[in-house]
């Protein structure tokens, strides 16, 4: 496992299929942060993390295309869509007639803002709230995380996003999400998941100081709120992604560790076998 993981982490990064596509993507990523016509929530309503809302969205658009091979005509599912930080840049990339986007989140304020602000201008961008219980984001939720099942038919999507979702889930709930992602992906579809993936050997070197959560595969960095920054054993993550029916292409280290990387959290890209791409 260690040798295989090292190869994945050091693999060359995919890129858009042509030089023209690369230039177009670069131009789009430069334009998104300064485009004052794009939707932008009030600063005091952003609950999805620190940093510039549009700039971070533009950064991830680049990762989706270059690393996840997202194409404009594909169907996107954003688990934990928050207040639209990933959705807004995707409005400028996905094809208005063939591409589509569905986002779900337990926080009502974020879903309402997205549904009232993004959907009227981009009808193929849809948002719905799921009342999933979470001690930080939705403590009164009616649906236990271990029972989550997203209300879409099998193979409904080509690209599933889980940015900063695994970092707030206990291991048993993360397994449920991996199984749901595998169910919902069409053959050839990709899961794009960020995590703090720990190998048990480098936990003293990172900027975040993780400690193991009991005897299991979970880790926490903040004792008073363990799910504010949750880690997971890398072997556990790889094993359960595979058991769900996905083929792991990459588990790349993020620069939260103090290493040079294009993304902050660690990045898992896994593919549903059987597609022709």
H helical segments located in the chain: 2-10, 19-31, 53-66, 87-90, 108-117, 171-184, 234-243
| Rounded distance between C-alpha atoms, residue 226 and residue 228, angstroms | 6
| Rounded distance between C-alpha atoms, residue 129 and residue 34, angstroms | 29
pLDDT digits 0-9 by tens, 185-242:
999 999 999 999 998 755 545 568 899 988 889 999 999 999 999 999 999 999 999 9
51 pLDDT tier (thresholds 50, 70, 90): low
Most trustworthy range by pLDDT among 9-13, 17-21, 158-162: 158-162
47 pLDDT tier (thresholds 50, 70, 90): low
CB 185 within 8 A of CB 160: yes
Q: Residue 155, Cβ neighbours under 10 Å: how many?
A: 14
Residue 140 carries which DSSP code? Answer: T
pLDDT for 6: 36
């Amino acid at each position: 496992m260690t040798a295989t993981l090292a190869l994945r982490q050091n693999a060359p990064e995919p890129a858009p299929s042509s030089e023209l596509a690369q230039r177009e993507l670069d131009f789009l990523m430069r334009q998104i942060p300064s485009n004052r016509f794009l939707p932008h929530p009030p600063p005091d309503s952003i609950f999805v993390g620190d940093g510039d809302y549009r700039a971070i969205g533009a950064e991830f658009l680049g990762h989706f295309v270059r690393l996840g091979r997202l194409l404009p005509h594909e169907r996107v599912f954003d688990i934990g869509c928050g207040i639209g930080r990933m959705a807004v840049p995707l409005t400028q990339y996905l094809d208005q007639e063939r591409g589509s986007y569905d986002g779900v989140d337990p926080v009502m304020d974020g879903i309402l803002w997205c549904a009232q602000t993004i959907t009227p201008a981009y009808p193929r961008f849809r948002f719905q709230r799921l009342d999933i219980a979470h001690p930080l984001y939705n403590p009164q939720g009616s649906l236990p995380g271990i029972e989550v099942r997203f209300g879409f038919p099998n193979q409904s999507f080509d690209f599933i996003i889980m940015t900063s979702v695994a970092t707030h889930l206990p291991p048993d709930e993360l397994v449920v999400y991996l199984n749901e992602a595998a169910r919902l992906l069409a053959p050839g579809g990709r899961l794009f998941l960020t995590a703090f993936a720990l190998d048990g050997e480098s936990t003293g070197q990172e900027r975040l100081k993780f400690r193991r959560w009991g005897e299991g595969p979970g880790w926490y960095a903040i004792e008073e709120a363990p799910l504010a920054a949750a880690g997971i054993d890398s072997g556990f993550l790889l094993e359960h992604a595979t058991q769900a029916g996905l083929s792991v292409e990459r588990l790349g280290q993020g620069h939260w560790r103090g290493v040079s990387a294009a993304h902050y959290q660690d990045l898992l890209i896994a593919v549903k076998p059987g597609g022709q791409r």
